[in-house]
């Protein structure tokens, strides 16, 4: 088992709102109202989208090269954990803090607007800067905004991008290259993404409906989730990670779930845990025909049919490059809100019509009192899956650390 690392603090923004308490309250209640039909953004047809409506901070003038909606999400998340970030800088020094971010869009929307204007006027918009578009600009922006001098890199492996950022962040800590790392992901809606998924016929005309016989595709979303990681013990630990790249197809998963199975088994082995130790799994759960069939099969083979599972994408949409960090955040928030032996869970939101053709995994459904929870004495372990185009798979495990389990960690604003 590799050494874990502590997930010290979380900042988050998505379609459910801004700040840990707002996002968790709505997620735990299974609110799906944030997915709304929009006619103003796609160029193909109206779509349900998980767009961020919360007020976002302005990018400071001295960081104008990074001024885009994607980085505004990142800044909103960073502002939620400003105090622990500043404390870490004071404790370790700015040169000992690294940055690892995941994204698949960066400032693509701003580039699209600039090119559209150039097609009419012959000139790009005055506000456009090339670093807005660079995928590496996401981590560069964080490093510049916080004036950090440690290693800084951005990962872009489609929907597994920000999940993989945590595996890399932990490696930086284990190798002694950093004493703390800012890690997470951010993605914003843009025409390139929406039209691309529409061309693949992967977009549903209704809010996504994972694991249902009536599922018809995914719903896109946007947002950011950013953690501060250290080598400290206690609290909630990033206990394990598994990564595979089966390269089955450019955009379709291996129907046998080979890469997903090995990713999940790798995360368990890395954490030194058995399948029976997992109290909850956050599914990749995109509601496409292929993903749900593959993932349910993989989950049944690795975890069996007793572990409660849910997809949170019906509440926030598929945030693509930010999905791994966002769904790790849901696991972290569940542990942070433990009540005695009960851990509250984000419920599986769908139409209630299970697909009988899918492997019979256990979905986390509300009880008679409307709450969704699992009984799991501390220290408990939770798992999350992220599967991307090209067979880029990543599974992460978070776990409470011994006697410190149940102590409330640092959360962002309400």
Of 34 and 133, the one with more pLDDT: 34
The CA distance from 285 to 365, in Å, is 15
The CA distance from 90 to 94, in Å, is 8
Looking at 1.10.3720.10, 3.20.20.20, 3.40.47.10, 2.40.30.10, the CATH number of the domain 5-408 comes to: 3.40.47.10
Give CA torsion, residues 383, 188, 102, 327, to 10 deg.
Answer: -10
The CA distance from 117 to 168, in Å, is 39
- Residue carrying the six token digits 């930010």: 322
Rounded to 10 deg, the angle between the 289-303 and 258-271 helix axes is 40
Task: Tell me the mean pLDDT in the region 366-371.
Answer: 91
- The predicted pLDDT at position 403 comes to 54
Task: Tell me the mean pLDDT in the region 344-349.
Answer: 98
pLDDT at 195 over 90: no
**In this predicted structure, which of 38-42, 230-234, 287-291, 401-405 has the lowest mean pLDDT?**
401-405
- The predicted pLDDT at position 75 comes to 98
pLDDT at 412 over 90: no
pLDDT at 413 over 60: no
- The predicted pLDDT at position 405 comes to 52
Please, which pLDDT band fits residue 252 given cuts at 50, 70 and 90?
Answer: low
**In this predicted structure, which of 22-31, 54-63, 255-264 has the lowest mean pLDDT?**
255-264
pLDDT in tens, 152-171: 999 999 888 999 999 999 99
pLDDT at 248 over 70: no
Please, which pLDDT band fits residue 42 given cuts at 50, 70 and 90?
Answer: low
Q: Highest mean pLDDT: which of 103-107, 251-255, 311-315?
A: 311-315
- The predicted pLDDT at position 167 comes to 95
Of 121 and 292, the one with more pLDDT: 292
- The predicted pLDDT at position 336 comes to 97
Q: How many CB atoms lie within 10 A of CB 299?
A: 26
- In DSSP notation, 213-236 reads TT---B-EE-EEEEEEEES--SSE
pLDDT at 394 over 90: yes
- The predicted pLDDT at position 297 comes to 97
Burial class (CB in 10 A: 0-12, 13-18, 19+), 113: middle
DSSP 58: P
Overall pTM surpassing 0.75 (yes/no): yes
Percent of residues, the chain, with pLDDT higher than 90: 75
Q: List the domain boundaries for the chain.
A: 5-408
pLDDT at 254 over 80: no
The CA distance from 190 to 252, in Å, is 22
- The predicted pLDDT at position 1 comes to 39
pLDDT in tens, 258-298: 999 999 999 999 999 999 999 999 999 999 999 999 999 99
pLDDT in tens, 203-246: 899 999 999 999 999 999 999 999 999 999 999 999 999 999 88
**In this predicted structure, which of 43-47, 230-234, 348-352 has the lowest mean pLDDT?**
43-47
- The predicted pLDDT at position 28 comes to 97
pLDDT at 410 over 70: no
Q: Is 181 helix (H, G, I), strand (E, B) or coil?
A: strand
- The predicted pLDDT at position 51 comes to 95
- The predicted pLDDT at position 188 comes to 94
């Amino acid at each position: 088992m590799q050494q874990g690392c502590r997930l010290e603090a979380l900042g988050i923004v998505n379609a459910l709102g801004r700040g840990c308490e707002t996002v968790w309250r709505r997620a735990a209640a299974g609110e799906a109202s944030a997915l709304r039909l929009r006619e103003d953004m796609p160029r193909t047809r109206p779509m349900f989208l998980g767009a961020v409506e919360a007020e976002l901070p302005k990018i400071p003038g001295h960081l104008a090269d990074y001024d885009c909606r994607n980085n505004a999400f990142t800044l909103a998340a960073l502002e939620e954990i400003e105090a622990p970030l500043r404390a870490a800088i004071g404790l370790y020094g700015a040169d000992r803090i690294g940055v690892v971010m995941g994204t698949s869009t960066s400032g693509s929307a701003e580039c699209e607007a600039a090119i559209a204007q150039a097609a009419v006027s012959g000139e790009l918009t005055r506000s456009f800067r090339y670093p807005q578009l660079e995928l590496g600009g996401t981590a560069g922006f964080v490093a510049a905004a916080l004036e950090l001098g440690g290693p800084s890199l951005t990962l872009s492996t489609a929907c597994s991008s920000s999940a993989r950022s945590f595996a890399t962040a932990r490696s930086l800590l284990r190798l002694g290259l950093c004493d703390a790392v800012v890690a997470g992901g951010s993605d914003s809606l843009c025409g390139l993404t929406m039209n691309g998924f529409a061309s693949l016929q992967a977009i549903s005309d209704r809010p996504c409906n994972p694991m249902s016989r009536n599922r018809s595709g995914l719903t896109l979303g946007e947002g950011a989730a950013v953690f501060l990681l250290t080598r400290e013990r206690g609290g909630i630990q990033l206990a394990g990670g598994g990564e595979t790249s089966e390269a089955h197809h450019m955009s379709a998963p291996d129907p046998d779930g080979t890469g997903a199975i090995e990713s999940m088994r790798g995360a368990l082995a890395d954490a030194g845990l058995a399948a029976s130790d997992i109290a909850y799994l956050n599914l990749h759960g995109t509601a496409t025909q292929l993903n749900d069939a593959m993932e349910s099969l993989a989950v049944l083979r690795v975890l069996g049919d007793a572990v409660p599972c849910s997809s949170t994408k019906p509440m926030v949409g598929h945030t693509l490059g930010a999905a791994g960090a966002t769904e790790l955040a849901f696991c972290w928030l569940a542990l942070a809100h433990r009540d005695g032996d009960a851990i509250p869970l984000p419920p599986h939101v769908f139409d209630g019509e299970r697909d009988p053709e899918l492997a019979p995994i256990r979905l986390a459904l509300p009880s008679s009192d409307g709450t969704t929870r699992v009984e799991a004495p501390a220290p408990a372990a939770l798992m999350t899956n992220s599967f991307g185009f090209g067979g880029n798979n990543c599974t992460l495990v978070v776990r409470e650390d011994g006697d410190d389990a149940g102590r409330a960690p640092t959360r962002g604003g309400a």
